[in-house]
């Protein structure tokens, strides 16, 4: 049994006007076959696979973990004119501060825009890593649909994370958002344990299905360091340093040597400006600031200066005004309810400047959902998409909070989401479960209108 609701508006009428003056641009280039690589992987020397990230128009960051002693390089090929063409062989030194972990974050530059890229690490003795596939970002002027996936909360109890496999099977993506709690370090007491928790997740079928094909976009939430990281006095500075250091070893994220813990950054993928927030390490609860003053000023500036149709905000905890049940004691500081002034200032900034196409991605609450930021007022036109958990314990409130109004839809199931954002201002999302059920899908637009919602009621 499926329930089908046309929530608001008539999408066919709303977008008919676009059809006549639509400009067509080349579709994205798709490789007709995977690059076979140079030979079989040595999984003893390369035990954790490969990943890519930091996708730009002309560059990528590629990653592996190497247990050998020889020097390392990476062979990079690009799909061009119907064939895989060698691009470069790049020296891949191990990360200078992390020889023991054996990780490398190697930039690959000079790549063509919006192009399939493949790569394989090789040591001086000829041993090979797994083959990775990725792609560079589409240029700002690209007129094609952008596709991405997202999840959060990958506690190992949910391994091997089938929802990730199911999203990967629905076609290659431009990027994948790891929206926080990608690992749970709560039980780890030292560097070795933290590293093993990362490698345990990275080696699962779900992580490999995404990471070996899709550039990652990462933020973190509390569990990359410890439960409730961000509540003052709870987590020692040493623990925070340890968790963040190990995060930068295993996530395919560039570390700025001048600001080594800074995670907030933007990416441009065609019609989408991706604005990555750090909603954990810069809390100031006494001042009720979810983001530091510097990050908040940067965020507002990023929203107003981008000419992208979509401004996708990677926000680890929900910005939707949550019910009072979530406000007890310190719990309210675990999401934007605890920071009302900054939240109101942000909504006012978006509204007064008539910024369209802002959409939030959130995790942390362990249930999927499609919520309006507020029940009424300008926040009612902003959508908050809750993605994940891919593996953590399920929050049964996901089946209680749903009201069809502000809390448009939610449920309690392991899931990852797949999005398509079109340059003419129409978006689509589908949440996919471990059982490969499309548990909900929606069409929406840059004004926060939900044109269509289709969801599967939970079993009684
Ligand atoms: Fe979580």
DSSP secondary structure of 87-152: EEEEE-PPPTT-TTTTEEEEEE-SPPTT-EEEEEEEETT--EEEEEEEEPPPPTT--S-EEEEEE-
- Give the tens place of pLDDT for each residue, 375-422: 999 999 999 999 999 999 999 999 999 999 999 999 999 999 999 999
- Segment 232-247 shows an average pLDDT of 91
Least confident of 72-86, 90-104, 142-156, 337-351: 90-104
- What distance in angstroms lies between residue 153's CA and the mean position of ligand 1's atoms? 4
- What distance in angstroms lies between residue 159's CA and the mean position of ligand 1's atoms? 14
Question: Is 40 part of any domain?
Answer: no
- What distance in angstroms lies between residue 431's CA and the mean position of ligand 1's atoms? 17
- What distance in angstroms lies between residue 356's CA and the mean position of ligand 1's atoms? 30
- What distance in angstroms lies between residue 419's CA and the mean position of ligand 1's atoms? 21
- What distance in angstroms lies between residue 263's CA and the mean position of ligand 1's atoms? 19
* CA dist., res. 10 & res. 129, Å (int): 50
Question: Which residue, of 101, 135, 169, is where some domain finishes?
Answer: 135
Handedness of CA 423, 427, 432, 437 (dihedral sign): negative
In the numeric block, which tokens belong to residue 66?
């190497």
Verify that 130 and 268 share a domain, yes or no. no
Is residue 84 within 8 A of residue 47, CB to CB? The reply is no
The predicted pLDDT at position 333 comes to 86
Q: Is the pLDDT assigned to residue 2 strictly greater than 50?
A: no
Verify that 375 and 390 share a domain, yes or no. yes
- The pairing of beta strand 50-53 with beta strand 83-91: unpaired
Query: 26: pLDDT confidence band, cut at 50, 70 and 90?
Result: low
Domain that holds residue 372: 3-27+140-455
- What distance in angstroms lies between residue 157's CA and the mean position of ligand 1's atoms? 12
- What distance in angstroms lies between residue 43's CA and the mean position of ligand 1's atoms? 30
- What distance in angstroms lies between residue 151's CA and the mean position of ligand 1's atoms? 11
* CA dist., res. 36 & res. 115, Å (int): 17
Verify that 162 and 126 share a domain, yes or no. no
- Give the tens place of pLDDT for each residue, 315-374: 999 999 999 888 887 788 888 999 999 999 999 999 999 999 999 999 999 999 999 999
Query: 200: pLDDT confidence band, cut at 50, 70 and 90?
Result: very high
Q: Is the pLDDT assigned to residue 60 strictly greater than 50?
A: yes
Question: Is 421 part of any domain?
Answer: yes
In the numeric block, which tokens belong to residue 404?
């069809």
- What distance in angstroms lies between residue 389's CA and the mean position of ligand 1's atoms? 7
Q: Is the pLDDT assigned to residue 23 strictly greater than 80?
A: no
Q: What share of the chain is helix, strand, coil (3-state, %, to 5)?
A: 20, 30, 50
Verify that 296 and 374 share a domain, yes or no. yes
The predicted pLDDT at position 393 comes to 95
Verify that 120 and 242 share a domain, yes or no. no
- What distance in angstroms lies between residue 388's CA and the mean position of ligand 1's atoms? 9
- What distance in angstroms lies between residue 343's CA and the mean position of ligand 1's atoms? 22
Q: Is the pLDDT assigned to residue 20 strictly greater than 80?
A: no
Question: Is 32 part of any domain?
Answer: no
The predicted pLDDT at position 7 comes to 45
Verify that 153 and 128 share a domain, yes or no. no
- What distance in angstroms lies between residue 179's CA and the mean position of ligand 1's atoms? 10
3-state class (DSSP) for residue 207: helix
pTM attached to this predicted model: 0.94
The predicted pLDDT at position 96 comes to 84
- What distance in angstroms lies between residue 152's CA and the mean position of ligand 1's atoms? 7
Percent of the chain with pLDDT over 90: 83
- What distance in angstroms lies between residue 354's CA and the mean position of ligand 1's atoms? 33
* CA dist., res. 425 & res. 356, Å (int): 9
DSSP H helix total and E strand total for the chain: 7, 22
- What distance in angstroms lies between residue 223's CA and the mean position of ligand 1's atoms? 7
Percent of the chain with pLDDT over 70: 94
CATH number reported for the structural domain that contains residue 226 in this entry: 3.60.21.70
Verify that 17 and 55 share a domain, yes or no. no
In the numeric block, which tokens belong to residue 204?
């699962």
Verify that 366 and 397 share a domain, yes or no. yes
Q: What is the mean pLDDT of the chain?
A: 92
In the numeric block, which tokens belong to residue 70?
């020889």
Least confident of 66-75, 90-99, 160-169, 232-241: 90-99
Question: Is 341 part of any domain?
Answer: yes
Question: Which residue, of 113, 135, 157, is where some domain finishes?
Answer: 135
- What distance in angstroms lies between residue 120's CA and the mean position of ligand 1's atoms? 33
Verify that 94 and 163 share a domain, yes or no. no
- What distance in angstroms lies between residue 366's CA and the mean position of ligand 1's atoms? 6
Examine residue 160 and say whether the peptide bond preceding it is cis (omega within 30 degrees of 0). yes
Question: Is 33 part of any domain?
Answer: no
Query: 113: pLDDT confidence band, cut at 50, 70 and 90?
Result: very high
Q: What is the rounded (10 degree) CA torsion for 215, 217, 220, 223? A: -30
Question: Is 154 part of any domain?
Answer: yes
CATH number reported for the structural domain that contains residue 80 in this entry: 2.60.40.380
Question: Is 44 part of any domain?
Answer: no
Residues by chain with Cβ below 5 Å of ion ligand 1: 153, 181, 392
Query: Of all helices (H) and strands (E), which one includes residue 318?
Result: none
List the beta bridge partners of residue 456.
none
The predicted pLDDT at position 99 comes to 58
Total count of domains within the chain: 2
Query: 276: pLDDT confidence band, cut at 50, 70 and 90?
Result: very high
Verify that 198 and 245 share a domain, yes or no. yes
Verify that 351 and 377 share a domain, yes or no. yes
| Backbone phi, psi, residue 253, to 5° | -130, 135
Verify that 165 and 239 share a domain, yes or no. yes
Q: Is the pLDDT assigned to residue 269 strictly greater than 90?
A: yes
Question: Is 41 part of any domain?
Answer: no
Question: Which residue, of 86, 118, 135, is where some domain finishes?
Answer: 135
């Amino acid at each position: 049994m499926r329930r089908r609701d046309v929530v608001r508006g008539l999408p066919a009428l709303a977008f008919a006007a676009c059809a006549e003056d639509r400009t067509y641009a080349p579709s994205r280039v798709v490789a007709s076959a995977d690059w076979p690589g140079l030979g079989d992987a040595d999984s003893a020397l390369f035990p954790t696979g490969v990943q890519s990230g930091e996708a730009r128009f002309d560059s990528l960051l590629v990653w592996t973990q190497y247990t050998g002693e020889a020097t390392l390089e990476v062979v990079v090929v690009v799909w061009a004119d119907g064939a895989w063409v060698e691009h470069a062989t790049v020296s891949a030194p191990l990360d200078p501060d992390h020889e023991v972990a054996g990780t490398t974050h190697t930039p690959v530059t000079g790549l063509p825009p919006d192009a399939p890229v493949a790569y394989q690490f090789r040591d001086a003795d000829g041993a090979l890593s797994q083959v990775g596939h990725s792609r560079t970002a589409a240029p700002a002027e690209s007129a094609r649909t952008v596709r991405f996936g997202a999840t959060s909360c990958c506690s190992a109890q949910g391994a091997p994370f089938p929802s990730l496999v199911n999203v990967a099977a629905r076609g290659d993506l431009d990027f994948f958002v790891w929206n926080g709690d990608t690992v749970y370090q709560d039980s780890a007491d030292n560097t070795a344990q933290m590293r093993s928790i990362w490698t345990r997740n990275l080696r699962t079928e779900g992580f490999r299905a995404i990471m070996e094909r899709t550039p990652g976009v990462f933020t973190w939430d509390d569990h990359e360091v410890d439960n409730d990281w961000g509540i003052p006095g709870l987590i020692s500075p040493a623990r925070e340093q340890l968790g963040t250091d190990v995060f930068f070893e295993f996530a395919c994220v560039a570390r700025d040597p001048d600001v080594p813990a800074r995670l907030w950054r933007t990416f441009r993928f065609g019609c989408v400006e991706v604005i990555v927030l750090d909603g954990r390490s810069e809390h100031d609860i006494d001042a009720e600031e979810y983001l530091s003053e510097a990050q908040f000023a940067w965020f507002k500036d990023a929203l107003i200066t981008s000419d992208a149709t979509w401004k996708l905000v990677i926000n680890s905890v929900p910005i939707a005004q949550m019910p009072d049940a979530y406000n007890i004691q310190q719990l309210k500081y675990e999401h934007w309810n605890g920071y009302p002034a900054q939240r109101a200032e942000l909504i006012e900034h978006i509204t007064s400047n008539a910024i369209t196409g802002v959409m939030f991605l959130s995790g942390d609450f362990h249930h999927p959902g499609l919520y309006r930021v507020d029940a009424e007022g300008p926040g009612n036109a902003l959508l908050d998409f809750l993605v994940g958990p891919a593996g953590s314990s399920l929050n049964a409130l996901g089946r209680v909070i749903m009201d069809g109004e502000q809390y448009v839809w939610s449920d309690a199931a392991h899931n990852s989401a797949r999005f398509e954002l079109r340059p003419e201002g129409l978006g689509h999302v589908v949440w996919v479960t471990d059982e490969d059920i499309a548990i909900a899908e929606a069409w929406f637009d840059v004004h926060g209108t939900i044109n269509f919602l289709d969801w599967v009621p939970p079993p009684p």
